[in-house]
Amino acid sequence: MSQHVAFYQVLTDLNIELKQPQGDLDTELTFTPPTNAATDNPAILSFMVGFINANSLKFRIKLNGNAVVALNPENGTRRSSFCQEIVGAIKPGVSNKLKCFIESGTGTVGFSDMVIWYQRNV
């Protein structure tokens, strides 16, 4: 019987800004968990996020094509806040893709300090 230990990977320490209109609408981050990453428990995504001049802005994050985060801030400006979301299983030993994008609306979303937490079999 294997045991699990907690593990994490820093996806970005930089502040990434997405803007609509006239800016980047999406960004993609990739990470490759080790082959002994556990798939029987969901992973956790944590990050800082803030919105500026949001007008019906819809910010989304997909992990390997599956929707995992949907943020719809109230119109206006929102100070940075911490977000944490259970995102389901990751794929061990292969490149996993995390797509962050503005689905609709206008304004700016900034996010940083993005970390994926998961378990490993030992």
Average pLDDT for 62-79: 88
Is residue 100 in a domain? yes
Average pLDDT for 52-57: 91
For the chain, how many structural domains are there in total? 1
* 39 close to 85: Cβ distance less than 8 angstroms: no
Is residue 45 in a domain? yes
Give the pLDDT confidence of 79-119 residue by residue, as tens digits.
789 999 999 889 999 999 999 999 999 999 999 999 999 99
Is residue 3 in a domain? no
Q: What is the CATH number of the domain that holds 28?
A: 2.60.120.260
Is residue 41 in a domain? yes
Please tell me whether the overall predicted TM-score, pTM, comes out greater than 0.85 for this model: yes
Is residue 5 in a domain? no
Is residue 80 in a domain? yes
Domain extent, residue 42, equals: 15-121
